[in-house]
Structure 1
Amino acid sequence: MSEVRRCTVCGRPLRDPVSRARGTGPVCARKLREMSPKARRQLLPVDDVPTGPYL
């Protein structure tokens, strides 16, 4: 899995290795944890969904 250089929620640069691995900065990660699952699904990108013959 490659590290993300920008937050997938707000687009700000990620400087911390943990944030890069997670793909979100600390503020956005906290906000996502506080959101309902339905709201979270609408916000997160779907580009990371694997595609292939098994789908």
Structure 2
Amino acid sequence: MSDVRRCTVCGRTLRDPASRARGTGPVCARKLRKLCKKARRQLLPVADVPAGPYL
């Protein structure tokens, strides 16, 4: 694990050792988790993807 001094998302200084190990501050980490959760919900299941001429 690297010891990052600034948030890789917003660039703010990281003070907490856990945040430094993660590379993001708590606010940015929360926002990233929400974005990932939203993206997973929007993905279609494989059975619902229409078959094209190349499949």
TM-score (norm 1): 0.63
- Amino acid aligned to 2:28: C
Q: Name structure 1 gaps, 5 residues minimum.
A: 40-55
Which of 1 and 2 has greater Rg?
2
Match of 1:15 in 2: 15
Q: What is the total number of aligned residue pairs between the two structures?
A: 38
User: Unaligned regions of 5+ residues in structure 2, if any?
Assistant: 40-55
Counterpart of 2:31 in 1: which secondary structure? helix
Deviating 4+ runs (over 4 angstroms): none
Q: How does 1:1-55 map to 2 (within 5 A)?
A: 1-36=1-36
Q: Give CA-to-partner distance per residue, 1:12-40, whole Å, 9 cap, x none.
A: 00000000000000000000000037x7x
Q: CA RMSD in A?
A: 1.6
Q: Specify which structure has the bigger relative contact order, considering alpha-carbon pairs within 8 angstroms and separated by 6 or more residues.
A: 1
Q: Indicate the SS of the match to 2:11.
A: coil
Percent identity, aligned pairs only, is 82
